[in-house]
Amino acid sequence: MAPNSRLFLAVFVTFSLFFSPAFSAHDYANALKKSILFFEGQRSGKLPPDQRLRWRRDSALHDGSTAGVDLTGGYYDAGDNVKFGFPMAFTTTMLAWSVIDMKRNLGSEYGNALKAVKWGTDYLLKATAKPNTVYVQVGDAFSDHNCWERPEDMDTLRSVYKIDRDHPGSDVAGETAAALAAASIVFRARDPGYSHLLLDRAVKVFEFADRHRGAYSSSLHSAVCPFYCDNNGYQDELLWAAAWLHKASRRREYREYIIRNEVVLRAGDTINEFGWDNKHAGINVLISKEVLMGKSNELKSFQINADSFICSILPGISHPQVQYSPGGLIFKAGGSNMQHVTSLSFLLLVYSNYLSHANHAVPCGQKSAAPALLKRLAKHQVDYILGDNPMRMSYMVGYGARYPQRIHHRGSSLPSVRAHPARIGCKAGSRYFLSPNPNPNLLVGAVVGGPNSSDAFPDSRPFFQESEPTTYINAPLVGLLAYFSAHHN
Ligand SMILES: *[C@@H]1O[C@H](CO)[C@@H](O)[C@H](O)[C@H]1NC(C)=O
């Protein structure tokens, strides 16, 4: 018996008390399938013949034309019709990480998961085709948000925004490089030519991001703020990109870059957060794998940071720096809470897998957390999303007996093109937005922002912080559901 086993046990007991003992039998495989299908509903551009979500049609077929480039395709970020490059790249990185770590657990969904990644990377390749330039947004967010329109009808301003040497954006360029590098791993065996193209582009985009440093929120402030303003700075994305490039290429220069820049790029900052803006916890967990696999002791400090990140979110361990709702859901202020739930749970799960392989536990002060404990917390969060919560409802559209009916999503809430072929203009959509009726089109698999800090959920379109789905809520969830679909109990 390990000397710490009694502590593990104590922690388990605390934990079971903290969360209501859930003995639910969720259909994780079904939820997994739906979580990937959701991405088809967010597609922009010309839809392919194998599109399964049939109420959507082609949209935004001239994106980029005002700048003389082809920027069709990609994903709408959430319930609106803007293509925001920063969260789109993060979504793609997280989908790729889900596939890389849970490849064997995806089962029959493997092919669909690859398609979801590729819909992102095909667009990112277009956005980075011109050297030292990244197209980072299509659509004027103010003009878009002023209308309630189907993407198929869109007549709002499709302004094109870019960064270049004189208007840098190391945050969005770094995240784009990370996405391309991560996806190159996904396609390495399946499509070596495409994989090579992705890695080659990732190298170039990272070079540009690093050489011309700056925040895109400064260069393009009025376009990207307050929507996806990089409040956290661009330093984390540079390290994050280097970490993915190192993983994808195994080139020494990236490891040296990480070691050389660890302090100046503040690897240990704001550890208990992970999302489209803040990559610190993700960087530390990702790089820790190298350390735990015994491949690099020079990177030990990243594992120490990852350990403190884990301790900071485990209830009953130290002073948790993360709040939990009375029903046991991770809760962070600021809206779209489920993005924190899925991304932090994803890190718990992958770190627990890295720890298990290395036969390691996390030291948290006087206590110690075993990998199984991390996994249990991640599973509790997923089960909460699927229905084990005080509202007794699933927060994934189309999963379970009760789920959100009035999600804040233009396409889902307006009649489909098939049902209503005539155009519905900007303000003509308002009556659908304000209607108390359920949405006519099921955006299957969409996970919404979720309940407030007292586990209550209004299921009302105007409450966008609770009722809006986003691509970066679902992306890490794909990995979580893949794992739990293959590992019951
Ligand atoms: C959560 O929503 C419920 C129902 O709308 C409300 O009564 C409660 O005050 C809200 N809690 C917080 C913390 O906002």
Nearest atom of ligand 1 to the alpha carbon of 455: 1
d(CA 255, CA 282): 16
Other C-beta atoms lying within 10 Å of the C-beta of residue 14: 15
pLDDT at 294: 86
Per residue in 342-381, pLDDT tens? 999 999 999 999 999 999 999 998 899 999 999 999 999 9
pLDDT at 262: 86
User: Tokens standing for 197?
Assistant: 């193209």
DSSP, residue by residue, 182-221: HHHHHTTTT-HHHHHHHHHHHHHHHHHHHHS---HHHHTH
pLDDT at 316: 77
Nearest atom of ligand 1 to the alpha carbon of 458: 5
pLDDT band at 319 (very low <50, low <70, confident <90, very high): low
User: Tokens standing for 71?
Assistant: 């920027």
Residue 331 CA to ligand 1 center (angstroms) comes to 14
What single-letter amino acid sits at 294?
G
Q: Which of 40, 63, 77, 80 is catalytic?
A: 80
Beta strands at 330-331 and 362-364: parallel, antiparallel or unpaired:
unpaired
Of 451, 458, 449, the C-alpha closest to 409 is 449
- Would you call 364 helix, strand, or coil by DSSP? strand
- Would you call 164 helix, strand, or coil by DSSP? strand
Name the residue with the closest Cα to ligand 1, atom 4. 456
Q: For the chain, give percent helix, strand, coil, nearest 5.
A: 50, 5, 45
The owner of tokens 């809430």 is 413
Residue 4 has pLDDT above 70, yes or no: no
Query: Between 317 and 457, whose confidence is greater?
Result: 457
Residue 443 CA to ligand 1 center (angstroms) comes to 26
171 classed as catalytic: no
**Mean confidence (pLDDT) of the chain:** 93
d(CA 397, CA 337): 16
Name the residue with the closest Cα to ligand 1, atom 7. 456
Residue 456 CA to ligand 1 center (angstroms) comes to 6
Rounded to an integer, the average pLDDT of 100-129 is 98
The owner of tokens 């485990």 is 314
468 classed as catalytic: yes
Rounded to an integer, the average pLDDT of 271-277 is 89
Q: Which of 212, 246, 408, 409 is catalytic?
A: 408
d(CA 229, CA 323): 24
408 classed as catalytic: yes
Pocket test for ligand 1, best of 332, 454, 460, 465 (most atoms within 8 A of CB): 454
Name the residue with the closest Cα to ligand 1, atom 9. 454
Residue 404 has pLDDT above 90, yes or no: yes
Report the CATH number of the 3-486 domain. 1.50.10.10
Q: Which helix (H) or strand (E) holds 138?
A: strand 133-138
Q: Which residues line ligand 1 (CB under 6 A)?
A: 452-454, 456, 458
d(CA 147, CA 138): 16
Spatial neighbors of 196 by CB under 8 A, at least 6 apart, are: 184
Residue 298 CA to ligand 1 center (angstroms) comes to 48
Per residue in 226-266, pLDDT tens? 999 998 899 999 999 999 999 999 999 999 999 999 888 88
The owner of tokens 């959920």 is 457
Q: Considering the chain, what percentage of its residues have pLDDT values greater than 90?
A: 88
230 classed as catalytic: no
Residue 150 has pLDDT above 60, yes or no: yes
Per residue in 55-79, pLDDT tens? 999 999 999 999 999 999 999 999 9
